[in-house]
Amino acid sequence: AISIAPSRTDTMEDAKEVAPTTELYYPRKCSATNRLIAAKDHASVQINIGHVDVNGTYHNEYTTFALCGYIRFKGRADDAINRLAAEAKLMRAMDSFPHPSKASMDEED
């Protein structure tokens, strides 16, 4: 009994039918600018902000924000996180807090 081994192309075609290719890289979008974050953007960060109750207890829930390197480079990451957290109802908007210079003037009177 002589068996003929399948050619290399036959086995590759069979492999494609059995196991479909899966993507290993899923691009993210910057939460502040809606820009795609490139794979080579090594300055980008992804931050999980935990949800806490009134007593400050964490209950295994969080909201994820991704910031591109451009926002961080321009020094706008802090403002972006504050704005995104306020929009997600994780905190009050920053303009609802008194300005530090006005708060110190009220104490002097």
What pLDDT tens digit does each residue of the chain (109 aa) get?
A: 665 655 555 555 655 566 667 777 788 999 999 999 999 999 999 999 999 998 999 999 999 999 999 999 999 999 999 999 999 998 888 888 887 777 655 555 5
Rounded Cα gap, residues 94 and 82, in angstroms = 7
In this prediction, residue 97 carries a pLDDT of 80
In this prediction, residue 44 carries a pLDDT of 96
In this prediction, residue 13 carries a pLDDT of 60
pTM for the whole structure: 0.66
Do residues 37 and 51 lie in contact, with contact meaning Cβ atoms separated by under 8 Å?
no
Continuous H helices in 1-109 = 8-18, 69-73, 77-87, 100-108
49 SS3 class: strand
